[in-house]
Structures are given as structure tokens and as C-alpha cells.
Structure 1
Amino acid sequence: MNDVLILEDQKDAQDWLAEAILMAWPQVRLSVYGRLDGALQALESGQPDLCLVDLQLPDGSGIDFIRQCSKRYPATLLVVATIYDDDMHLFPALQAGANGYLLKDDSQKQIALALARISHEGIKESG
């Protein structure tokens, strides 16, 4: 894991998720975005290995990011990080291309372990 993108609009949640990611991969290069438009622009610069995506953003939905990133970079692992634990949020995210779905009320250690497991089990083939 080299490049990880976080799309989360809340500063406290950005910091908390970044710490969880660094627990799993201490040497990773992190990019953090608080708005959908900024994260979509970042995709122009190259393919992230993993994206951790919030669903509710001030300028759109994380589902839109997942859909566009998945289409452009099929090998990128896309993981939702949200407070919503219902099917109404889960299924659209998975249908858009998400590889995993984590709840923000889990501990940082649980998030780090889940991300490591998702990256190990969910490594996609390019092409």
C-alpha cells in the first residue's frame, strides 16, 4: 500500500481515519479531501491504491466518487467509512464498486485491522 486517499468532510474524522490508516501502513502517502470535487480532481493525478470514502459530503455523495474512481481505476480498493449501518446506504455503495464498508464508531484498531484485511483479501487485478 503506497497511496491512500481519504474523502471525508469532518476534520476530526479526517484526523481519526488518517491515524487508523497509519496504524495499518506507517509509510503510506496520505491525501485528504473534504469535498467531492477536490477528490475527483485528485484522480487526474494518478491512481490511489486505496480510497476511504464518506458517503455524505457537502458537495455531493461519496457514491459518485466510488462510481467514478472504480470506472477509471478498477484496481483501486474503495472502502466506505460512515456512520450509517443500514441497507439503504450499504447496497448502493457496493453496487457503485465499494470493496468494503466500515463504521466510524469502530475503534481505530478495528478500522486498521479491517483495512489490512480488505487490502489483503480484496487486491484487484489491473486491466
Structure 2
Amino acid sequence: MRFDTLRLDHVGIRVTDLAIAEDFYAKLGFTRDPEEFSPEAKACGLVHPTGLRIHLIYNGQPAEEGNVLLDAPVKRPGYTHAAFIIDSMDELVEWLAREDIGISEGPVMMGHGRRNVCFIRDPDLNVLEFNEILAH
């Protein structure tokens, strides 16, 4: 059987505190979707004005060693980050500074100068990547 994948629906991000995470992602433009809030499942759907969706899974326990997928010496399988396309890296970097959100890596050119890439971490150390696609 063959089927076509049409688009990505959402990315699930495990967090320890829903209020803190929701506040952080609100700074990035995400708002709660009341139809995607499930206290029983400890899941809260957020939507961005562009239509991007994330689900905050708020059953995480604080990790003493940082992000267990990225910061531990032994690399375990799992999703390591979500990546977003932006219009201007300069504007993102300026905005991050105003919001006092630290950059964990970048901006740096990747892919033979095709992408300007920057990484940040949310309050639970989940990694978010931002890409400015450059003209050739």
C-alpha cells in the first residue's frame, strides 16, 4: 500500500512546567489551541499564526544532566530538535537579545552557504533551530 504524506501536523515537545513553557513559546508567537488541550493526556496544543503547531507534553521530570539526548556523552536515539524557517536571521538575533533568550549555537552558515542557522533552547533545554534560507 502506498500513501502520500501531505505535511507535518505538529511536533511534540516534553516539558516540566506547562505555564513556564507556554509563556516561552508565546514569545515565539504560539498561542494555546483550546481544542488541543487535554489535561488527561497532559498535552497542550499551541498554534502559530502561520499555521505551525506544537504540542507541549507536560509530564517531564527535571533532568540533572541537561538535555538527555544532546548533552549526555552517550547519544541515545530520539528527536533532537524542531527546525523553523525564518525571513531574517538578523531580526531573530536582535529579538532574542531583547527577550533575553540565549543562543546556544550560531548563527552559522551551513550547506555551502545556503542556510544561516541559529539554535536556542527552551526552559527545559529542548533545542529549537531557526533557518534563514539564502538566495544562491
TM-score (norm 2): 0.32
Q: Which is greater in Rg?
A: 2
Identify, as 1 or 2, the structure richer in helix: 1
TM-score (norm 1): 0.33
